[in-house]
Amino acid sequence: MTDHPQGLHPDTLAVSHGYDPHAHHGAAKPPVYPSTTYMYRSASHAKDVHRAYFDGVPMPGGEAPGHIYSRLGHPNLDMVERRLAALDRAEDAAAFNSGMAAISAVMLSALRPGDAVLHGRPIYGGTDGLITGLLAGLGVRNFGFTDGLDRDAVMGAAREAAAAGPLALIHLETPANPTGAITDIALVASVAEEIGARQGRRPLVVVDNTFLGPFLQCPGEHGADLTVTSLTKYAGGHSDLLAGGVSGDAERVGPLKLLRTFLGTSLDPGVSATLLRSFETMGLRTERACANARAVADFLAAHPKVRSTSFLGHVDPESRAGALLARQCSGTGSTFSVRVRGGEAECFRMLDRLRVIRMAVSLGGTETLICHSASTTHYAVPRERREAGGVDDGTLRLSVGIEHPDDLIADLRQALEAV
């Protein structure tokens, strides 16, 4: 793992890392470069630029390589990638035009027909669709594990997967949505090591860090080879852009950047600039959202009409999950689920009374969002699989924003009267 550049704190890196004003006419803040194509100074300069891009040969005189065409790369993308890599404490990062574009690139790059993929359960619907749809159709078999704290359970599933084909990739989400179940990343990395020694090829360990983000968890420090993040959520932070990122060692991230040019899923200059600005406040927003989430979860957990919440701050520190949380994460996050005493009808009545909290899917924005999981995010998941994954008809998902916590609690208090 790479240390933070210049030994700076993430809050400082998030504000200015990756942008050098003196390379941009002294502009204190990054200009946006919408140009799709970049001029060469001479025919031989053109050849040098292409040789640098495709073969990694340094430019004559140590000059910076320069850009060719914006799908291949552009200045605003470079800024985002340098900042994301620094925040994830990784050597390199690649940015994509959505979280799913990032996840698809990783899977399409690592998996071949005949390979097996192992994943934690439950898993994001888009990722599930990719694995069970496109990849299964290409001959990649998939296997799952549920208890990411139990080495025997993970190893058992990994062995089964390795027997079906070489196990090429292990994908996990921690904490998982909507159960809040956490997976021990170091444990999964050690399973990958053991399987690798047997099959002669170590499976790639990929962690989807969307629910916590770099201010609360750096999966690379615990043994993940690649960290994928839907930057649409906490990094973008205002529910107004789509973006995704992959961080890790340069030798793993480089091929993903090349694949991205063929898939055509690069992040555009305008969105890159908005995302770069959003990184500046990510630390502040994360801190406030976590504090608000605690206040809201404390209120909900004590409410007679609430059965339970999955808020990570309420996990018993003496439990195995609690000990892992202390080791692996530096905060609770602000997205969790709430099970109310009742089913769909009670939930619907409550939701329709909310005045401050908005009803929508997604998470990680400045505004607090709520949705009834079974009829929205998990609509297409068959009841049995849904309930096994912790989503019953009384489950709501909350993404707590940065408003005043008293207003959120008052809104929930009056709405819960309808349950």
Ligand X SMILES: *Cc1c(COP(=O)(O)O)cnc(C)c1O
Distance CA 261, CA 269 (A): 15
377 makes contact with ligand X (CB under 6 A): no
CB 101 within 8 A of CB 14: no
Question: Is the CB of 26 or the CB of 264 nearer to ligand X?
Answer: 264
Q: Looking at 63-209, list the stretches that DSSP marks H as alpha helix, in order from N- to C-terminal side.
A: 75-87, 99-110, 125-129, 136-137, 151-164, 185-199
Residues 296 and 400: beta-carbon distance below 8 Å? yes
Cα–Cα distance measured from residue 125 to residue 102, given in angstroms and rounded to the nearest whole number: 15
Annotate each residue in 24-43 with x if it binds ligand X (CB under 6 A) or - if it does not, as one string. --------------------
Active-site residue flag, 71: yes
Token digits for 334?
A: 């602000």
Catalytic residue among 51, 71, 277, 307: 71
- Binding range to ligand X, per CB under 6 A, among 92-100, 111-119, 181-189, 271-279: 92-100
Q: Which residue is nearest to ligand X (CB)?
A: 99
Greatest Cα pair distance in the chain: 74
Residue with Cβ nearer ligand X (66 or 220)? 220
Draw the binding track, 251-270, toward ligand X (x: CB under 6 A; -: no contact): --------------------
Q: Looking at 149, 155, 242, 323, which residue binds ligand X (CB under 6 A)?
A: 242
Q: Single out the segment in contact with ligand X by CB under 6 A; choices: 28-36, 98-106, 184-192, 283-291.
A: 98-106
Measure the CA–CA gap between 398 and 80, rounded to whole angstroms.
28
Phi/psi at 186 (5° precision):
-65, -35
Work out which of 213, 244, 248, 333 binds ligand X, going by CB under 6 A.
244
Q: Which of these is catalytic: 88, 208, 268, 393?
A: 208
User: Under 8 Å CB-to-CB from 109, ≥6 apart: which residues?
Assistant: 255, 256, 259
Residues 181 to 240: which contact ligand X by CB under 6 A? 208, 210, 230, 232-233
Instruction: Give yes or no: 53 in active site.
Output: no
Q: Which residues bind ligand X (CB under 6 A)?
A: 98-100, 124, 126, 173, 177, 208, 210, 230, 232-233, 242, 244
